[in-house]
C-alpha cells in the first residue's frame, strides 16, 4: 500500500513539473554581433519533452530527443544550413520560474536564460 502511495506522489510531482515547463519561453542569445531573440515552446509528456524553437523569423525548428529528468532536461535541434544539416544539443535546468539553457555551437559554449511568456 505504501508503494502505491509513493508511486502516485511521484506521478503527481512529475505532472506538476511538466505543467511548469509547458508553454512559451523567451530570452536572448548574446553574441559579438548583438543579441538574438530566442523563443521556445516546450511541452512535457512524462519524461519526454517536445516543442520547437522559433530560430529565425518564420523558421520554427522542432525539438529532437527531448528528455526530462527532475528539473533537468535536454534536447537537440537540427536545421538546414546551406544544404548541410546542423545540430545543436542543449541542456536545461528549470528553477525559480526560469530556464537556464546551455549548449554548444561548433565548440563555442552558449548560455541562454529564458523566462516564461505570458
- Residue given cell 511541452 in the structure block: 43
The three three-digit cell numbers of residue 80, written as one number: 538546414
For the chain, give percent helix, strand, coil, nearest 5: 15, 70, 15
Residue 30: which H helix or E strand, with range? strand 23-31
Question: How confident is the model over 24-64, as pLDDT tens digits?
Answer: 999 998 888 899 899 999 999 999 999 999 966 778 899 99
Question: How confident is the model over 70-110, as pLDDT tens digits?
Answer: 999 999 999 887 888 889 999 999 999 999 999 988 888 99
The residues spanned by each domain of the chain are: 2-116
Phi, psi of 108, deg, nearest 5:
-100, 115
Q: Kindly indicate whether the domain formed by 2-116 is annotated with CATH number 3.30.360.10.
A: no
- Predicted TM-score of the model (pTM): 0.79
Amino acid at each position: 500500500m505504501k508503494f502505491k502511495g509513493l508511486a502516485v506522489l511521484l506521478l503527481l510531482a512529475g505532472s506538476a513539473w511538466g505543467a511548469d515547463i509547458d508553454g512559451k519561453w523567451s530570452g536572448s542569445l548574446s553574441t559579438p554581433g548583438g543579441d538574438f531573440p530566442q523563443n521556445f515552446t516546450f511541452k512535457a509528456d512524462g519524461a519526454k519533452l517536445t516543442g520547437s524553437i522559433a530560430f529565425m523569423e518564420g523558421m520554427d525548428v522542432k525539438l529532437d530527443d527531448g528528455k526530462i529528468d527532475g528539473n533537468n532536461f535536454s534536447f537537440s535541434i537540427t536545421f538546414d544550413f546551406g544544404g548541410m544539416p546542423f545540430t545543436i544539443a542543449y541542456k536545461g535546468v528549470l528553477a525559480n520560474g526560469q530556464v537556464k539553457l546551455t549548449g554548444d555551437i561548433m565548440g563555442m559554449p552558449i548560455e541562454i536564460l529564458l523566462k516564461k511568456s505570458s
